[in-house]
Amino acid sequence: MSAPQTPRPFGASTTAAEVIDGVDLHGRRAVVTGASSGIGVETARALAAAGADVTLAVRDADAGARVAAKLEAELPPSAGKLSVGRLDLADRSTVRDFVAGWKGPLHILVNNAGVMAPPELTRTPEGQELQFAVNHLGHFALATGLHPALAAADGARIVSVSSIGHLFSPVVFDDVDYRFRPYDPWTSYGQSKTANTLFAVGAAERWADDGITANALMPGNIADTSLARHTDMEQVAAMVAAGAFALPPGKTVEQGAATSVLLAASPTVQGVTGRYFEDCGEAEPVAERGTAVGGVAPYALDRDNAARLWAMSEALVH
């Protein structure tokens, strides 16, 4: 791997609007999952402001419609069109329906939706543990289903929203669904976020000849988001106080969406693929979690792990 790239003048405090300033996305089409709240809304806003036609792929279509209407009222006349598509990543049938309904090329796919640390073990109707199913398998099914549309775009970008939480766990291939080990919400979240990064590594390798780039990112520590809706935040505070893990400095939603928008649209990362970014630059590797508040674990970028995950995921979703 080449030396980490750090586009300038972007950094930890950069906002999505600053990243997209001067970028023209007219004629481009984008899909942002989980775009009814948090950084998904700001990602959709920035891409549309630059002229892209953006589909908000959301579990609650009514909530998505309200967000779209609000954005339309705030965006300039030159903005791209906004539309809403129903997508429940825990329900494989809605993923198939979304894919079947997509027509024409797709230039930008932002796999942004997610769930974090539900306290109790929950399984999907197919029997998969919820976080692995939603955060990884649903997005895997979506991206592979949309692969022909991405290939038709001649230069498509896939953005996979991971997290520093990937440092909690590699993908435990022999027990991704917690059938043999006790369920833990944080190692479960961790392996799903590792899977998000490994997906980008796998897609970068498999789809390079189609002109598709794929990268993963850590958006930052953002309080104003629905990601933590299942999480016991008092427990999180106690774990931080006890030194179980550390949190990076806080960000606003506008700052949290910046790295997603950078990877989705900025010319500064043209051609970059299979990498993991944070604070609008490529992350440094870390050797152990400890109290790390940044960086990427080597197991999350390992090509063999990516290939194994891809094969497993194909078997599970097809």
Spell out the residues 6+ positions from residue 205 whose beta carbon is closer than 8 angstroms to its own.
274, 303, 306
Number of residues that make up the chain: 318
Alpha carbon distance 46, 44 (integer Å) = 6
Contact 48, 34 (CB under 8 A): no
Contact 48, 82 (CB under 8 A): yes
Contacts 24+ apart (CB under 8 A), 121-130: 121/178, 121/183, 123/177, 124/90, 124/91, 125/91, 126/92, 126/316, 127/177, 128/176, 128/177, 128/316, 129/176, 129/177, 129/178, 129/183, 129/188, 130/90
3-state class percentages of the chain: helix first, strand second, coil last, to nearest 5: 45, 15, 40
Active site amino acids: 189
Half-sphere exposure of 152 (CA within 13 A, CB side): 11
CB neighbours of residue 293 within 10 Å: 15
For residue 197, list its beta bridge partners.
Answer: none
